[in-house]
Structure 1
Amino acid sequence: MSPSTVQPSPWVLATEPTSLGDPTSLITLVDGQTFCLSGRSGDFNNNPTHGVFFADMRVLSQARLLVGGAPVESLAVTLADASNATFVGRSQPSSPSEPRLLVVRRRSLGSVWQEEIELRNTGGVAMSAAIEMQVAADFADVFAVKEGRTGVEGAHSVEADGQSLLFGWRLGDVHRTTKLTMAGVEAEVSPKGFVWTVHLDRHEVCIVHFDLTVALGGRWIERNDHHPSLPNAAARNRHWLAAVPKLRTVDRKLGAAYDRSIADIGALRLHDPTGHHRPVIAAGAPWYMTLFGRDALISAYMALPIDPSLALGVLQALAELQGTAVDQMTEEQPGRIMHETRNLGVEGSTLTGGSTYFGSVDATPLFVVLLGELSRWGLLEEVLLELLPHADRALAWMRDYGDRDGDGYLEYLTTSERGLVNQGWKDSGDGIRYHDGRIAEAPLALCEVQGYAYAAYRARASIAARLGRADEEAEFSLLAQQLKDRFNRDFWVQEHGWFAVALGPDKEQVDSLASNMGHCLWSGIVADEHAAEVARRLMSPPMWSGWG
């Protein structure tokens, strides 16, 4: 991208996020770096968030099917899995006497996006109808769509090429191309889309296919980056689901929750288009289908009983992206584990090849925590030894950069005008408050982050024990105990009977009652004399939101 081009911050929302609309009318499909949002008819043309997104950019912003000049009436939608859906509808004739067409749209995400459209004459007489697929590609980035920003910068182009439409976009040195190809019938192709006429005898069917491919720079994702050892999305998911543990229970709600959780984990796995990296887990659909340090580390930790290879993939990817230099804008520092990576402004699609932002205070200790837990689950010693230097660099970051003032606590204060003001899991600008409602200002030492640091020291001590390094085990065990003693002294709010959510700029307690201290229980940093009271507070009526 041209250095003179000024872009809004890719990490911080400038406004409230755009509404996705009625959740019952939104159909979301995901497969790795591709996701698609549409209405129940299968169209995307009215809602500003609809479209097909690949590598953080909307590569198809309109796909509107018209039969006889009118939209299709939606009848039903079924989702076979996270990446496949079937939309059933019928045409809307101009008069009651005219016959209707049954319209079935079978949509799937693979390398990018495919759709099969079945037009069926269910009536007793022959009929003809004009069919139109109106399409467009605006190449808006996910941040612009999420914020509701209109008007995409850069030069756009569209041209017909046989039975295909080629959409192009260029901004500075960054170039994207989308190719939408139709097959099954001959259509009239124009920059607005595809038009054709069907003549169907009674009970006759016409089927057409649309296939969308994307090029980043000059590289076509499906054509040149397809890796033969990677099966398509549906087969890949089936193989994974068949291998994970099954739950048998008489509690139907528990069983349904487990099955849905497994399906969601499968859908959120990110696969490297080059085939060079193990799968990792994305932060969430639709806007966060990318690698986030904190989210991936905690999710992989929780998913260890399901698929330990996810944890290894996350650790290896984050180790590759670990900070090596000081950069005020991206907040990179030596040893720091990144917060988020995106594919905007790059000419290739890989798990670790995008632009990276490091503004997270908790991902770095969590990296060590996950490595220690994976070691407990039987990680091969040779792989452990490959990752251990990265864990030690993370611990060095905690000492040299994370503890800004040498008080033994990890704090954060953004160094970037485009960075996050709050750098824990509550990263909205007003996410950390005092008990009286005042917004706390950084630098802040969050309570849960000290818990992660404690768990990181314990994890490193356990790794040392496994490797027979008694001196290291003693060193990190001592660091853990010293931190635990300080924490229970400085963070406990005696007046209220809970842990402060943070220590403020003057080491004063940010004394609001918050769920953050639940993470402290998980980490083990809470002293025995406070554990029961913390649990009681977490389950008390003031903490009950109706959602958990």
Structure 2
Amino acid sequence: MTQVIKEGNLFFHSDDWGYLPQGNQQGLGLYYRDTRFLSRLEWELDGVEIVPLHAKIDGAESLYRYTNQIVEKEGTVSFWRESLEIERQCWLHGGVLYERFRFSNLDRNPLETHLNVRLDADFADMFIVRGFQEGKVGDKQPVETTTEGLRFSYQGVDGLTRSLVVKVEPAGRSGEDGSLRIPLSLAPGEEQEVTLTYLLSVGEETMKAVQQEEAFNAFRRAGEEWDHLCPQVYSDSSDFNAMYRRGLADMRMLLTDVGDGLFPVAGLPWYAVPFGRDSLIAAWQSLAVRPEWAKATIRTMARYQGEKVDEWRDEEPGKILHEIRYGELAVTGQIPFTPYYGTVDATPLFLLLIGEIYRWTGDWGFVRECADAAKKAFRWIEEYGDPDGRGYTVYQRKSEKGIGNQGWKDSADSVVHRDHILAEAPIALVEVQGYVYQGQRIWSSLFRRLGEDKWADKLARQADALRERFRRDFWMTDESFPALALDKENRQVGTVTSNPGHCLIGGILDRDQSVSVARRLLSPDLFSGWGIRTMSQKARSYNPMSYHNGSVWPHDNSLILLGLKQSGFDREAEKLMQGLIDTGAQFEGHRLPELFCGYGREEGEPIPYPVACSPQAWAAGTAFVLLQVMTGLNPDPERGRIRLRPSLPPDLSWLNVRNLRVGSGHIDLRLVRSQGVVHAWVERNTTGWPVEID
């Protein structure tokens, strides 16, 4: 197992006890902008064997407690076991890693020893650490010893000098092998602290530290401010309460700012970067919690919107990025992620999210701000997204180092026919057509209000035509369910998957089709009891241990959940919510993982997927979607009102919510189930919109 703490662009990925063992194969380290600045961190005490006791990891802070084995000299006990209390704190603040040891002697005898710390910094690019790429790299410089500690440095092939300065108090002896040796002298009842500060620099960018106590207090104040700004949730389900709190903590951890405000990156440890699809969906999930994240996400994506045709990066005018990387390989052009645009769904999700921001906030000024970027995105959908003129938005990789499958199920075997043969590109994914349709309908209305009637009429016509084609070409009559995709020959990729569940949002399916889809999604071959599988158990390619062909992804379930609620399938939504809440209760800290294996509930507890990111932004955001579906909040800025259609999963009988973000203010709600009916009360409303309860 491993642990991660993160703040901004800096994260520390360690083993369960905060160590970075030399030569570890798990990619452990201290990372900043896709470079590993610290690759080894081990410590020990002379002559004293350490016993780990407890570890607590929370956001940007970790706390570890250790004690000691018995110390004997020439057959005589010189220091009794469990008499040394060791507390070690690590936290991140302002781009700096702070580490503090506190040693307390609880024995009647004194203890004389040394704290030995062994460090190394390999300055490896993230893609090299993960074994994905090889390339030309720079030179690591000899370790320098200083009066305060150590300095590691690296001259990159990108012309940048990267360095790590380690300062230790009290001063000890530093070695050119990256070691620090600090004397400890503890009388009975005495306590001693040792602090280490890790300062990074990249080119002209240098992190600056403050006194540790000042840094720790600032870190704690930021946490208190965060708690004050977020909605508070209380219910009679301790599991849901804990899942929601964990979602908030994880989302805070995953926020970053590249110039346009805080927004969610994808996940840790490997995707702590702007990530088109993941960032957009996580922001969408979070609208009732912190809508400013969604605005920052849109502004960030618009800043990097495609401007030209560049096959190396799969870039095209108007396209929204897939992923940005900042390491040595990216800066020198050895990989195309600067940014890389190989995603088919980020562009329609960008359009969809702007409309959702307006729906939740009523901020018309923001819509005006985004109108030009929206036009560019629609031009991409019409011109570059449909190169073969089929009337569908498709993908086909052009970059030699790009991604083959460019939907959210992007593994090489994820788009597969019923006969187990992989589909060939260009491929039109089912959910992408649903996103495009939603974007067209939303923006037809928005452009009409902007006075852009030509755009409004054009998008309305395109939406109607797409809906008609879609219902004809994607519907599988033998399964009464939409196909996963259409391949390059316009043949249905007929494997039954979770993807069509996203089409329950927005209206591209007719009513009878929606009923059939909702029923199938909750049938035993797709619903495991914990969540909806990515692929039906009946499919030839089904594998419950696979990444995309039978596993369960919470974010996938959250979008299906939104569709079930929007389409009026409340009972199905309640069943799915209960499954997800029960799943969260089975994982440490009630953290929903990126994904888990698709084994059925009858086979026992949910089985973790071995390399899932944890935390993952759109998994954290799933808790916020559950909250939204329970309250049944449906803002309507055009009519200046809020509709409520509450429902609760079976294990909840009441729910109180304070500080939900809607319109220009907040709303407090109380829900209570009585005799099978969920009743709602509005206890505070500063949104500017009246509430109607269905």
Query: Is the pair's TM-score, using the shorter chain for normalization, greater than 0.5?
Result: yes
User: Is the Cα contact below 8 Å between 1:63 and 1:133 reproduced in 2?
Assistant: yes
Q: Is 2:183 aligned against 1:206?
A: no
Secondary structure of 2:89's counterpart equals strand
- Shift, 1:493, TM fit: 0.9
Distance 1:233 1:415 in 2: 45
Give the 3 Å change call, closer, same or farther, for CA 150–418 of structure 1 in structure 2.
closer
Give the 3 Å change call, closer, same or farther, for CA 189–59 of structure 1 in structure 2.
same
Q: Is 2:169 aligned against 1:183?
A: yes
Distance 2:391 2:178 in 1: 62
Distance 1:440 1:68 in 2: 61
User: Is the Cα contact below 8 Å between 2:47 and 2:113 reproduced in 1?
Assistant: no
User: Is the Cα contact below 8 Å between 1:69 and 1:131 reproduced in 2?
Assistant: no
Match of 1:393 among 365, 372, 376: 376
Q: Is 2:353 aligned against 1:375?
A: no
Match of 2:418 among 409, 432, 435: 435
1:539 alignment counterpart: 522
Distance 1:308 1:505 in 2: 39
Distance 1:188 1:468 in 2: 69
2:4 alignment counterpart: 28
User: Is the Cα contact below 8 Å between 2:146 and 2:174 reproduced in 1?
Assistant: no
Give the 3 Å change call, closer, same or farther, for CA 408–368 of structure 1 in structure 2.
same
Q: Is 2:396 aligned against 1:418?
A: no
Q: Is 2:21 aligned against 1:45?
A: yes
Could you report, residue by residue, the CA deviation over 1:118-172 in whole angstroms, capped at 9, with x for unpaired residues?
1221111111012200000111222222338899942112211212211111232
Residue identity in the other structure for 2:380 = W
Secondary structure of 1:443's counterpart equals coil
- Shift, 1:376, TM fit: 2.0
- Shift, 1:469, TM fit: 4.1
Match of 2:235 among 226, 234, 249: 249
What TM-score do you get using the length of structure 2 for normalisation? 0.70
2:66 alignment counterpart: 89
Give the 3 Å change call, closer, same or farther, for CA 442–70 of structure 1 in structure 2.
farther
1:160 alignment counterpart: 145
Distance 1:513 1:430 in 2: 14
Distance 2:315 2:440 in 1: 22
Residue identity in the other structure for 1:337 = I
Distance 1:232 1:403 in 2: 51
- Worse overlay, 423-432 or 457-466: 457-466
2:558 alignment counterpart: none
**Counterpart mapping for 1:9-158 below 5 A:** 22=1, 26-45=2-21, 47-48=24-25, 49-68=27-46, 72-79=50-57, 81-93=58-70, 95=72, 97-99=77-79, 100-110=83-93, 111-147=95-131, 153-157=137-141, 158=143
Give the 3 Å change call, closer, same or farther, for CA 219–346 of structure 1 in structure 2.
farther
Match of 1:521 among 500, 504, 524: 504
1:260 alignment counterpart: 246
Structure 1 runs of 4+ off > 6 angstroms? 148-152
Secondary structure of 1:483's counterpart equals helix
Residue identity in the other structure for 1:130 = H
Distance 2:222 2:389 in 1: 48
User: Is the Cα contact below 8 Å between 1:68 and 1:93 reproduced in 2?
Assistant: no
Name the count of aligned residue pairs.
509
- Shift, 1:472, TM fit: 3.4
User: Is the Cα contact below 8 Å between 2:66 and 2:86 reproduced in 1?
Assistant: yes
Secondary structure of 2:145's counterpart equals strand
- Shift, 1:387, TM fit: 1.4
- Worse overlay, 149-158 or 42-51: 149-158
Give the 3 Å change call, closer, same or farther, for CA 263–466 of structure 1 in structure 2.
farther
Residue identity in the other structure for 2:96 = V
- Shift, 1:439, TM fit: 1.6
**Counterpart mapping for 1:402-417 below 5 A:** 402-417=385-400
Structure 2 unaligned spans of 5+: 211-216, 332-336, 532-694
Q: Percent identity?
A: 31
Structure 1 unaligned spans of 5+: 1-21, 225-230, 349-353
User: Is the Cα contact below 8 Å between 1:491 and 1:503 reproduced in 2?
Assistant: yes
Distance 1:367 1:191 in 2: 50
- Worse overlay, 165-174 or 316-325: 165-174
**Counterpart mapping for 1:139-538 below 5 A:** 139-147=123-131, 153-157=137-141, 158-172=143-157, 173-222=159-208, 233-272=219-258, 276-345=259-328, 355-538=338-521
Give the 3 Å change call, closer, same or farther, for CA 378–188 of structure 1 in structure 2.
closer
- Worse overlay, 258-267 or 390-399: 258-267
Distance 2:417 2:493 in 1: 5
User: Is the Cα contact below 8 Å between 2:3 and 2:16 reproduced in 1?
Assistant: yes
Distance 2:401 2:153 in 1: 29
Residue identity in the other structure for 1:203 = G
What TM-score do you get using the length of structure 1 for normalisation? 0.88
User: Is the Cα contact below 8 Å between 1:70 and 1:92 reproduced in 2?
Assistant: yes
- Shift, 1:471, TM fit: 4.4
Give the 3 Å change call, closer, same or farther, for CA 380–137 of structure 1 in structure 2.
same
Distance 1:488 1:341 in 2: 36
- Shift, 1:433, TM fit: 0.8
- Shift, 1:474, TM fit: 3.0
- Shift, 1:277, TM fit: 2.3
Could you report, residue by residue, the CA deviation over 1:154-208 in whole angstroms, capped at 9, with x for unpaired residues?
2112211212211111232233111111123443444322002211100111101
Residue identity in the other structure for 1:86 = L
2:617 alignment counterpart: none
User: Is the Cα contact below 8 Å between 1:446 and 1:502 reproduced in 2?
Assistant: yes
Distance 1:69 1:435 in 2: 64
Give the 3 Å change call, closer, same or farther, for CA 222–400 of structure 1 in structure 2.
farther
Distance 2:193 2:460 in 1: 67
User: Is the Cα contact below 8 Å between 1:241 and 1:266 reproduced in 2?
Assistant: no
User: Is the Cα contact below 8 Å between 1:248 and 1:255 reproduced in 2?
Assistant: yes
Residue identity in the other structure for 1:288 = Y
Secondary structure of 1:288's counterpart equals coil
Distance 1:297 1:517 in 2: 19
